[in-house]
Amino acid sequence: MKMILTLLFFFTFQDIIHAKDFTLSEAQAKYTVKHLFKTVTGESKDLRGKMVCENQLCEFLVAIPPKSFVSSDSNRDLNMQTILEVTKFPVITVKGKIAETELAKQKFEIKALINFHGIEKEYNLKIDRGSQLSGQFSVLLEDHKVERPSLFMAKIDNEVPLSFTFDWKE
């Protein structure tokens, strides 16, 4: 009987015992918008995220409010918020899965689903391990049905490079 109770306990609580929870810490994301006359960078440190690793597989979710991005011009930031319809789409989400063994490597790649402006699309995020994890990728605004603003009849580039740094804290 004792053996049966021990096995029952082991199988019931095995996943709970082995699961590891992480929260995002020291995170930052940047975008760069290029126009014929000017290049603008916006930055957000208002990233929230959680990762759960269980049975050698980690699942993560990161959320970024688009209105949290700031550049050097508050009028430009307000225009960006209008174009991105932040009241209709208040959060950008990034979610995915990765083998726990990959997280220990110096360089690795994650397939992530990014929901931006109400449209979800898969991206390959290339990650480098330094003092923090960092990476970059590019978004095409037209893929997410974002109207590209123009200045002097010239629209901003469709491709917007994004970079990020972060750590996971247990």
Domains of the chain as residue ranges with CATH: 19-169 (2.40.128.110)
The pLDDT of 82-90, averaged and rounded, is 95
Asked whether the beta carbons of 30 and 161 are under 8 A apart, the reply is no
pTM above 0.85, yes or no: no
Closest by Cα among 149, 148, 141 to 121:
141
Higher pLDDT, 35 or 81: 81
Closest by Cα among 166, 162, 167 to 30:
162
First to last CA, the chain: 37
Q: What is the pLDDT of residues 13-56, one digit of tens each?
A: 444 446 899 999 999 999 999 988 889 999 999 999 999 999 99
Amino acid (one-letter) located at 6:
T
Q: Quick one: the chain helix, strand, coil %, rounded to 5?
A: 25, 50, 25
How much is the pLDDT for 16?
A: 46
Percentage of the residues of the chain whose pLDDT score is greater than 70: 89
pLDDT reading at 130 higher than 90: no
* pLDDT band at 128; cut points 50, 70, 90: very high
Distances 148 to 116, 139, 158 between C-alpha atoms, Å? 14, 13, 7
Which of helix, strand or coil describes residue 78?
helix
Helix (H), strand (E), coil (C) string for 96-147: EEEEHHHHHCCEEEEEEEEEECCEEEEEEEEEEECCCEEEEEEEEHHHHCCC
How much is the pLDDT for 15?
A: 45
